Structure 1
Amino acid sequence: MSVVEKGRLSLSFWMVIPLLLVMAAGFNFPLLVMFGRSLIGPDGFTLSSYATLIDTTVYLKVLGNTFKIAVISTVFCVVLGYPLAYWLRSLSPKWRMIGLAAIVIPFWISILVRSYAWIVIMGNAGLINRSLAHLGWINAPLQLLYNELGVIIGTINVLLPFLVLPLFASMIKIDNQILNAAQTLGARPGTIFWRIFFPLTVPALAAGAILVFILSLGFYITPAILGGGRVPMIANMLDLLINQMPSWELASSISVVLLAFTLLLFAFYLRLANGEKRA
């Protein structure tokens, strides 16, 4: 390595140090404080907060409810997102850009605004209930809000692009010559899809599904608005434990458990993403 290259490397290193300090002070240090609070009580080292978490049924139910909603939301994102990404791939470049724009534009709108928009659509006097009542299909409004259904619909609406965009990026990398070769050899369209195309997209699909699942675990605004306080999730429970009770030790232990599980999923996500790049 030449003297000039060493100088550039040294300069780049010193330029990165301020960013590393900001990350350490703003992100890593709070995590260490949270981890310490979960292990240290008024009398010193203790695991009582973890014992309380395990022994208290309410907290376990909230954790279970959060994972259930996250799983359901992820499954529906996969079911809806894969056909959408596949359809976008089949479009011409012009219409493909229009379709991608329609998917990306919601990112410019606040989640808070989008959540309240669902109240206008799914409320008792909302668009859906009024339309069904006008058609004579219902006599009483359908309960689409302030329950798990409303939270799941709002979650899917927010997280669907996080699955569609990387999945679409993976699909357009597939060489059409491979599919044409299989067709030339006499393979049927269904066989080409299930034996060739779909297996090539599985790593991206799995990585996108894990990403959606991780993001849905920490949802706060959507459950608070569309759930109306009747659908307890981890983020809402942490808000209660920190701002209203408060119980910092218990909140920290719940956060540590959630963080550990999220890191495991994220490691699996990175493994799938790296496997897709090598493929």
Structure 2
Amino acid sequence: MLNFSKLGRFPLGLTVPAFSILLVVFGVPMVLLFLSSVNAPIFSFSNYEAFFSRPANIKVLIQTIEISLISTVLCLLLGYPTAYLITSASKQIRAMLITFVMISYLTSFLARTYAWIVILGDRGLVNNMLIELGLISTPLQLIYNRAAVYIGIVHMMLPIMILPLISVMMGTNKSLMAAARSMGARPGTAFWRVFVPLSLPGVRSGCVLVFVLCLGFYVTPAALGGLGDAMLSTFIAAQVKASLNLGPTAASSFILLAIALVVIFFVGMDLSGSPDGLSKSQRVGRGGRIVAAILPRHFLREIAAPYRAKRWLAELYKASGGDDRLKYSGISFLVAIMFFLLFPGVVVIAMSFSPGTFLEFPPSSLSLQWYVSFFGNPSWYDAMMTSIEIGLVVAALSTFAGTLAAYGISRSGPGMRSALTMAVLAPITFPVIVVGIGTYLGLVKLGLIGTETGIVLAHSIGAIGYVVVIVSATLANFDRRLEDAARSMRANPLQTFARVTLPLIRPGIIGGAVFAFLHSFDEVVITSLIGGLSIRTLPLKMWQNMRHQLDPTIAAVASLLMLLPIVWFLLLYAMWWRSKPRAHGVASEQSS
């Protein structure tokens, strides 16, 4: 009891378990990786010089930046209007659309990549449909090219662009646009000069996250692209498997990491999710400078001033009415985006019931042969059980450490809170291939390569970040006066936490555990480096089969992976619904 009371007075002590794992598995190895890149203790830049002396390396690096940048721009062009339309919808429709986006976000990367293979392949959905319609006689080359890579990456990253934008737009004061309209501004002018500057924190966060994650993409470009579409992550993974010399691999990794850090440093990332966190100078200066590059100059505004004054008088008492064409265009756009996000999953689930030796959409009849093949094959079944075991251990470990860390971070000062949060989020914001190489080096030192323990620790450094974010968000809405009331009734710290705090933050803890499990269950890149040849998880086996043979059994596996987030959503909703009356009961009991 005394120890728990002391930890309550020193909240940073609660972060020790989480940061111990991060430091041993990720922090110290990243330092060692950097020292390897500069040939410590000699300290030379020969590895970096060797990288930039080869034109092929420079070409791959430029290609990586190009693909990441174009993918980010495409996600922004599609994600911004999507987020705006979602936040403008009614409460029920908005909740439904956000759920659709979250389901797409939580669906396995591998399953979604496989969906595009069966859609764009030579015998895929698009080619088969065009041939049946008589529009083509031979299959089009829709896959293994740059266009397929962009389609796959945008499909993976679009939810990550939409969600931060929704978070910021939901906190934007809509009355500011109404005030601009009352001053004579057209809807488009009010949108560009009022709403867009206030939404720039979401734009920055979404763009930085998408760009940095795209830098480390490995699976999608390798599965959908050709030989000329390789990214630096593929180059780094090949170096690890082909050579025992860690210096060149470390240099390549830190070049990729340097690009990510430069973007994060200069562009910045607002994790608050609210535009109210911006100072007045930031709102006017930073947003104004960006928007000014798009809008006409001041002298054009002055020329148009008399016209605006007449129009304002003419429309001041004009009855308000929406433009039906604009309304229907927005609805059509939203339907198209949701179709783009969800239809590939529907295709794979439907194809998994194909009765023949080849997948077909729609199936001519229904058959469970591929599910029987999956559950009846020991290699598939063992891989699934290995993934479940590892995922459960990762969820338990990261939920325990992450919840304590979130509780301690939430009770520290603002400056310390920001620094600790950024540190705990590093493994999920850095390019995944860099995190994998650093983790590989750390676990080599511990002798845990090729073991389930090593994979658990490697998965936990990212899973802890998800738990901390979700539990911290729950704690942000927690009324601490309830804890004070419990203490005033002579409850000790442990009783206060168990009887008051824990019931109220339980939905966040369960949500963090779910995200931790899904993060572990879907991980491929780090698992392929840490597992070696002895550990085979379900995503790893699926990835290997996708690269060597398109076994239709993969369709059954992919469909199960796509249904997994829906099951978790139902469980989370049930837990939230059960905890809601209990939370109100605790609150009313403490206030009475």
Normalising by structure 1, what TM-score? 0.90
Matched, 1:135 2:137: no
CA contact (8 A) 2:146 2:226 kept: no
1:221 aligns with 219
1:238 aligns with 236
- Where structure 2 has 5 or more consecutive residues not aligned to the other structure, the ranges are 279-592
1:210 aligns with 208
2:394 aligns with none
For residue 5 of structure 1, report the CA deviation from its aligned partner.
8.6
1:37 aligns with 36
2:102 aligns with 104
CA contact (8 A) 1:146 1:230 kept: no
| CA–CA separation in structure 1 for the residues paired with 2:111 and 2:64 | 23
2:549 aligns with none
Of residues 135, 151, 154, the one that matches 1:153 is 151
CA contact (8 A) 1:163 1:208 kept: yes
1:17 aligns with 16
Inter-CA distance 243–81: structure 2 relative to 1 (3 Å threshold): same
2:346 aligns with none
- Where structure 1 has 5 or more consecutive residues not aligned to the other structure, the ranges are none
Of residues 93, 96, 99, the one that matches 1:95 is 93
Instruction: State the AA in 1 paired with 2:225.
Output: G
Instruction: State the AA in 2 paired with 1:24.
Output: L
1:258 aligns with 256
CA contact (8 A) 1:162 1:212 kept: yes
* Number of equivalenced pairs: 274
Instruction: State the AA in 1 paired with 2:29.
Output: P
1:267 aligns with 265
2:581 aligns with none
For residue 257 of structure 1, report the CA deviation from its aligned partner.
1.4
Task: Give the secondary structure class of the aligned counterpart of 1:124.
Answer: coil
| CA–CA separation in structure 2 for the residues paired with 1:192 and 1:16 | 45
| CA–CA separation in structure 2 for the residues paired with 1:83 and 1:16 | 39
Of residues 70, 73, 92, the one that matches 2:71 is 73
Of residues 133, 156, 172, the one that matches 1:174 is 172
Of residues 62, 65, 81, the one that matches 1:64 is 62
CA contact (8 A) 1:240 1:246 kept: no
Instruction: State the AA in 1 paired with 2:47.
Output: S
Inter-CA distance 206–15: structure 2 relative to 1 (3 Å threshold): closer
Task: Give the secondary structure class of the aligned counterpart of 1:58.
Answer: helix
Instruction: State the AA in 1 paired with 2:104.
Output: P
CA contact (8 A) 1:179 1:196 kept: yes
Matched, 1:8 2:12: no
Q: Deviations over 1:192-212 (max 9, x none)?
A: 112211222123212211211
For residue 255 of structure 1, report the CA deviation from its aligned partner.
0.8
For residue 6 of structure 1, report the CA deviation from its aligned partner.
6.9
1:27 aligns with 26
1:49 aligns with 47
CA contact (8 A) 2:83 2:163 kept: yes
CA contact (8 A) 2:7 2:14 kept: no
For residue 230 of structure 1, report the CA deviation from its aligned partner.
4.6
Task: Give the secondary structure class of the aligned counterpart of 1:45.
Answer: coil
Task: Give the secondary structure class of the aligned counterpart of 2:25.
Answer: helix
| CA–CA separation in structure 1 for the residues paired with 2:116 and 2:152 | 7
Which sits farther off after the overlay, 30-39 or 227-236? 227-236
Inter-CA distance 7–118: structure 2 relative to 1 (3 Å threshold): closer
Task: Give the secondary structure class of the aligned counterpart of 1:137.
Answer: coil
Inter-CA distance 175–247: structure 2 relative to 1 (3 Å threshold): same
| CA–CA separation in structure 2 for the residues paired with 1:110 and 1:253 | 30
Inter-CA distance 98–45: structure 2 relative to 1 (3 Å threshold): same
2:359 aligns with none
2:193 aligns with 195
| CA–CA separation in structure 2 for the residues paired with 1:51 and 1:165 | 40
CA contact (8 A) 1:242 1:248 kept: yes
Q: Deviations over 1:104-148 (max 9, x none)?
A: 102332111110110011111111122233333334322221122
CA contact (8 A) 1:166 1:204 kept: yes
Inter-CA distance 94–44: structure 2 relative to 1 (3 Å threshold): same
Inter-CA distance 198–136: structure 2 relative to 1 (3 Å threshold): farther
CA contact (8 A) 1:210 1:265 kept: yes
For residue 269 of structure 1, report the CA deviation from its aligned partner.
4.8
CA contact (8 A) 1:70 1:216 kept: yes
Task: Give the secondary structure class of the aligned counterpart of 2:229.
Answer: coil
For residue 173 of structure 1, report the CA deviation from its aligned partner.
1.6
| CA–CA separation in structure 2 for the residues paired with 1:129 and 1:113 | 20
Inter-CA distance 102–7: structure 2 relative to 1 (3 Å threshold): closer
Which sits farther off after the overlay, 240-249 or 218-227? 240-249
| CA–CA separation in structure 2 for the residues paired with 1:176 and 1:260 | 39
CA contact (8 A) 2:201 2:270 kept: yes
| CA–CA separation in structure 2 for the residues paired with 1:175 and 1:45 | 54
Normalising by structure 2, what TM-score? 0.44
2:475 aligns with none
Matched, 1:162 2:188: no
Task: Give the secondary structure class of the aligned counterpart of 1:141.
Answer: coil
| CA–CA separation in structure 2 for the residues paired with 1:88 and 1:228 | 36
